[in-house]
């Protein structure tokens, strides 16, 4: 459990942030070190040394005077450790259905689960993709808490909705809130570095979804293949596949989008015969979100050109 904080660290200050979490963070170096020492985790202690080296003032983080003094007693030990992040190629948590994979400079994370988790977002099957410590396909996280955040109006907030995660809108329906809306048959295969699950049950019965399999496979070169295979009874509205990106996408050819974040870039490839591409900026005026993402993030929408009761879609994300 303690090593989760090290495994969830992407790099360059970015962290896995499913549900109500910020994408920027890392943890308190002193607390992480002392926990790691007690459970004899070299991974946690080395990660604590990394956090302290990154921010030498981190020893005084937080509001707890006791923790600050405890950190002072351990500072020499922290400085004696090799400062490094987790080198784990993959991490699979079957209970929560969180899956992390690394390949070179690429970090991938995806989740199954259900739509009534603590601090829940409606996000069964969503994922994130980082390259060279830069965010590309993201989870926006959570804005400033208000009276609406934990009220009956929670899911009117865009960051909580499946339409603003990397997920399909199926037959005109988005994922609703509730413990009954969950994944089926989630599994991870380390041999093929692939994670798959059926998200049909994460949608209401009115969507008429028999199955909607999502399979993520990360290659050694960092390219990510996403295959979505589905069966829908009596489709009445075209499917729409949404992706939330940290940067705007440029359409450089039919079925090819280029996302650039500083010197890093990722190419997104799909079959242009299947979809109509559109992109909408999502303006951000919440201070907590602005500190992480700036003034906007971008929703890439691929709307199916035809109604299909059965079929598959294929997407590829290629680091440049």
- Domain spans, the chain: 4-80, 90-319
- Exposed, middle or buried, 177 (CB in 10 Å: 0-12/13-18/19+)? middle
Lowest pLDDT segment from 54-58, 115-119, 234-238: 54-58
pLDDT category at 65 given cuts 50, 70, 90 is confident
**Least confident window among 22-36, 51-65, 135-149, 285-299:** 51-65
pLDDT digits (tens, 9 = 90+) for 191-242: 999 999 999 999 999 999 999 999 999 999 999 999 999 999 999 999 999 9
Measure the N-to-C terminal CA separation of the chain; round to a whole number of Å.
Answer: 35
Quickly name the fold that domain 90-319 has: Beta-galactosidase; Chain A, domain 5 (2.70.98)
Average pLDDT on 271-287 reads 97
176: confidence class by pLDDT, cuts 50, 70, 90: very high
Closest CA to 242 of 174, 295, 310, 142: 174
| pTM assigned to the model | 0.95
In 144-169, which positions are buried (b, 16+ CB within 10 angstroms) versus exposed (e)? eeeeebeeeeebebebbbbbbbbbbb
pLDDT tens across 99-111, in order? 999 999 999 999 9
Distance CA 39, CA 161 (A): 38
Tell me what the mean pLDDT of segment 29-46 comes to.
96
Residues with Cβ within 8 Å of residue 158, at least 6 apart in sequence: 140, 164, 282
Whether pLDDT at 59 is above 70:
no
**Predicted local distance difference test score (pLDDT) of residue 69:** 86
Residue 137: pLDDT band (50, 70, 90) is very high
Please give the mean pLDDT across all residues of the chain: 95
Task: Report pLDDT for 68.
Answer: 82
Please tell me the number of Cα atoms within 13 Å of 282 on its side-chain side: 24
Q: What is the pLDDT of residue 241?
A: 98
Average pLDDT over residues 78-95: 96
Residue 279 in this model has a pLDDT that exceeds 70: yes
Q: What's the rounded Cα separation, in Å, for the pair 119 and 80?
A: 37
Question: To the nearest whole percent, how much of the chain has pLDDT over 90?
Answer: 91
Residue 55 has pLDDT above 70, yes or no: yes
Q: Is the pLDDT of residue 61 over 80?
A: no
On the question of pLDDT at 89 being above 70, the answer is yes
User: According to the model, what pLDDT value does residue 58 have?
Assistant: 62
> Taking the CB of residue 32, how many other CB atoms lie within 10 A of it?
27
Predicted local confidence at residue 60, as pLDDT: 64
The torsion region of residue 26 among left (phi > 0), alpha (psi -120 to 50) and beta comes to left
Q: Are residues 230 and 312 in contact, defined by beta-carbon separation less than 8 angstroms?
A: yes
Q: Considering only residues 300 and 64, tell me which one the structure prediction assigns the higher pLDDT.
A: 300
Average pLDDT over residues 120-143: 98
């Amino acid at each position: 459990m303690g090593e989760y904080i090290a495994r969830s660290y992407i790099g360059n200050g970015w962290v896995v942030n499913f549900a109500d979490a910020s994408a920027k963070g890392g943890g308190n170096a002193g607390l992480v070190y002392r926990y790691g020492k007690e459970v004899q985790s070299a991974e946690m202690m080395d990660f604590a040394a990394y956090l302290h080296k990154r921010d030498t003032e981190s020893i005084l983080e937080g509001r707890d005077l006791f923790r600050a003094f405890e950190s002072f007693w351990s500072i020499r030990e922290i400085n004696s450790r090799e400062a490094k992040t987790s080198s784990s190629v993959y991490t699979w948590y079957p209970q929560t259905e969180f899956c992390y994979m690394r390949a070179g400079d690429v970090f991938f994370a995806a989740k199954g689960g259900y739509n009534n988790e603590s601090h829940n977002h409606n996000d069964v099957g969503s994922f994130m993709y980082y390259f060279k410590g830069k965010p590309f396909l993201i989870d926006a996280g959570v804005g400033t808490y208000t009276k609406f955040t934990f009220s009956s109006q929670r899911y009117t907030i865009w960051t909580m909705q499946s339409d603003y995660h990397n997920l399909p809108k199926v037959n005109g329906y988005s994922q609703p809130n509730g413990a009954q809306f969950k994944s089926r048959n989630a599994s991870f295969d380390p041999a093929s570095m692939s994670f798959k699950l059926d998200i049909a049950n994460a949608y209401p019965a009115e969507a008429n979804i028999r199955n909607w399999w999502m399979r993520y496979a990360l290659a050694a070169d960092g390219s990510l293949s996403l295959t979505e295979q589905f069966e829908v009874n009596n489709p009445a509205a075209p499917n729409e596949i949404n992706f939330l990106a940290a940067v705007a996408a440029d359409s450089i050819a039919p079925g090819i989008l280029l996302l650039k974040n500083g010197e890093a870039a990722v190419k997104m490839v799909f079959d242009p015969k299947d979809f109509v591409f559109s992109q909408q900026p999502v303006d951000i005026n919440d201070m907590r979100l602005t500190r992480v993402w700036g003034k906007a993030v971008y929703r890439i929408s691929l709307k199916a050109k035809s109604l299909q009761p059965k079929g598959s879609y294929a997407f590829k994300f290629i680091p440049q």
